[in-house]
Amino acid sequence: MSRCALTSAVIAAALALGAPRATGQSTAKNAAPFTTPRLSDGTPDFRGIWHVRGAAHINIEGHAADRNTTAERSFIFDPPDGKIPYLPDALKQRDENYKNRATADPAANCYQAGVPRAVYLPTPFQIVQSPGNLAIVYTDNHAYRIVYPSTIPHDEGIEFFMGDSRGHWEGDTLVVDVISLGDQTWLDEAGNFHSDQLHVVERYTLIDSNTMKYEATLDDAKVYSRPWSIRLLLDRDKHPAARIVEDECLEGPDGLWHHLSPYDSRALLRHNYEAELAADAGKNQASEDKP
């Protein structure tokens, strides 16, 4: 059905139901306010599969249009100029990263994306939740995070690609404090980066049943002159059969690892665990049989 036909149908249905004609006042005022769904313990219910709007994964500072993507404004709202406040030497490193981005991007080489990048990859993620428990499972590279309560001390000095997460609720907003991220991940495909001192504070807030606002503040005195913040929107996948599809990587002839479609036969072969175990057992037996 065309947009015009759909609009006409909606208007006709509204008139048939006796809806009031426009009087110059918005009927939105009469709509019931959004109420955050809750689990049995009263905490907000964020369960579902979520996907970012826009293409922050290309460059969180925004980018011009090309033949593959439309133009994007910066996703950075602080500072107001939409630029990452790099220290001078760090800015030089970012520019060098950009020049080599085709081969140097850790995510393209099948490293886990890190935080906050994993949130705005072009693949969905799933929030799994029960009273007192929350985890986030990502499509790419088998990555996941368990968000432990903030009452449990951080594991410091252990460098994880996905960091060490501690969360608490501020009203209906989930606040996640993330440290121990190491320095092996980028923030996007443009080479924006951080050091092993990165500290991220994330804020997840439902603004309606199928839309979530995501904000993150990044603080890293080795690389940035001040903390800075991004904001973007996430959409719920409303399809009843929605699920996370496992991502796989395979080492190519160039010695680099490459992402494969989950439907690629080479990826499917990697999931034939029984065959792999049998092959390993055969190798072990052959080794034992050698004089």
Whether 190 and 222 map to the same domain: the answer is yes
Same domain, residue pair 208 and 276: no
Q: State the CB neighbour count (10 A cutoff) for residue 268.
A: 13
9 within domain boundaries: no
Which tokens hold the place of 261? 């479609």
Which residues form the domain of 101?
Answer: 48-236
Q: Is residue 20 part of a domain?
A: no
CA–CA dist 237, 55 (Å, integer): 17
For residue 189, being part of any structural domain is answered with yes
pLDDT for the residue 16: 32
* Residue 111: alpha-carbon gap to chain centroid: 14
3-class SS letters over 216-242 = EEEECCCCECCCEEEEEEEEECCCCCC
In this structure, is residue 13 part of a structural domain?
no
Other residues' Cβ atoms within 10 Å of the Cβ of residue 127: 20
Identify whether 79 is preceded by a cis peptide bond (ω within 30 of 0).
yes
Whether residue 131 is contained in a domain is answered as yes
Dist. CA 181–CA 200, nearest whole Å: 9
- DSSP bridge partners of 206: 212
Which helix (H) or strand (E) is 77 found in, with range?
strand 76-78
Q: What is the DSSP letter of 254?
A: T
d(C-alpha 214, C-alpha 173), whole Å = 10
Q: Are residues 141 and 197 in the same domain?
A: yes
| Judgement on whether residues 143 and 276 belong to the same structural domain of the protein | no
Split into its structural domains, the chain has a count of 2
Q: Are 154 and 276 in a shared domain?
A: no
Query: Does 7 fall in a domain?
Result: no
277 occurs within a structural domain: yes
Within 13 Å of residue 225, how many CA atoms lie on the same side as its CB? 10
Instruction: For residues 280 and 162, state if they share a domain.
Output: no
Contact yes or no for 167/149 (Cβ under 8 A): yes
Residue 119 belongs to some domain of the structure: yes
Reported pTM: 0.79
What local confidence, expressed as pLDDT, does residue 76 receive? Answer: 98
Say whether both 142 and 259 belong to one domain.
no
Both 211 and 257 in one domain: the answer is no
Mean pLDDT per block of 10 residues along the chain (291 residues) reads 36 32 44 90 97 96 87 97 98 98 90 96 95 95 94 89 97 97 96 97 98 98 98 95 79 71 58 56 67 61
DSSP 262: T
pLDDT at 31 (0 to 100): 66
Positions of E strands within 114-240: 125-130, 133-138, 144-146, 148-149, 164-170, 173-179, 199-208, 211-219, 228-236
- Looking at the fold, whether 160 and 98 belong to one and the same domain comes out as yes
**Residues 126 and 270 reside in one and the same domain:** no
